[in-house]
């Protein structure tokens, strides 16, 4: 299967969008993750029509002109993770939910930690808005590990009030 990709210069650095024949497969926000993915997939081709459309939509998002994405996604994961990711996609632009609320949204209120792990495993950040999930106390806990400044920036783009 041939993978295509395109790059976008976001306010916090380059974003790489990767697609397969089914849809957008991955979004790489960090250089070290991109380099690892590229090493594992040396046969990728630069650009693909779908990647270009994803870049266009990202640009609209970062410029305040888009609130929802209209792209086919090629999602891989366990049934549980797919449930969590579907719940994330239902969180409206400019709103946040806690990990506990996400667990409740999927009908499994005791699965707070597992919902957090699914959030962390999201391979389609921004398109599947894991940045809209915060700690129960309102704190910006975790985003791709320790990258909470990016989470904060994404929420600010969406007009969310962020606790200081």
1 pLDDT exceeds 70? Answer: no
Q: What are 143's strand-pairing partners?
A: 146
> Which residue is catalytic, options 29, 103, 118, 130?
130
What pLDDT was estimated at residue 91?
A: 95
Q: What is the pLDDT of residue 38?
A: 85
Concatenating the DSSP letter of every residue in the chain gives ---EEEEEEETTEEEEEEE-SSSEEEEE-SHHHHHHHHHH-TT-EE--HHHHHHHHHHHHHHTTS-SS----B---S-HHHHHHHHHHHTSPTT--EEHHHHHHHTT-TT-HHHHHHHHHT-SSBTTB-GGGEE-TTS----BTTB-HHHHHHHHHHTT-----
pLDDT for 143 equals 60
Question: Is 130 annotated as catalytic?
Answer: yes
pLDDT of the residue at 39: 85
Tens-digit pLDDT profile for residues 9-63: 999 899 999 999 899 999 999 888 898 988 888 887 776 789 999 999 999 999 9
């Amino acid at each position: 299967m041939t993978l295509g990709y395109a790059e976008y210069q976001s306010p916090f650095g380059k974003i790489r969008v990767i697609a397969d024949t089914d849809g957008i497969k991955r979004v790489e926000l960090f250089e070290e993750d991109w380099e690892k993915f590229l090493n594992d997939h040396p046969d990728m081709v630069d650009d693909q029509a779908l990647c270009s459309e994803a870049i266009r939509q990202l640009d609209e998002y970062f410029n305040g002109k888009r609130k929802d994405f209209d792209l086919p996604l090629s999602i891989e994961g366990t049934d549980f993770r797919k449930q969590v990711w579907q719940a994330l996609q239902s969180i409206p632009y400019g709103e946040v939910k806690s990990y506990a609320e996400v667990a409740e949204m999927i009908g499994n209120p005791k699965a707070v930690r597992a919902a957090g792990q699914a959030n962390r495993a999201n391979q389609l950040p921004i398109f599947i808005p894991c940045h809209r999930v915060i700690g129960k106390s309102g704190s910006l806990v975790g985003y791709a590990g320790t990258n909470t400044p990016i989470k904060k920036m994404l929420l600010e783009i969406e007009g969310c009030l962020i606790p200081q």
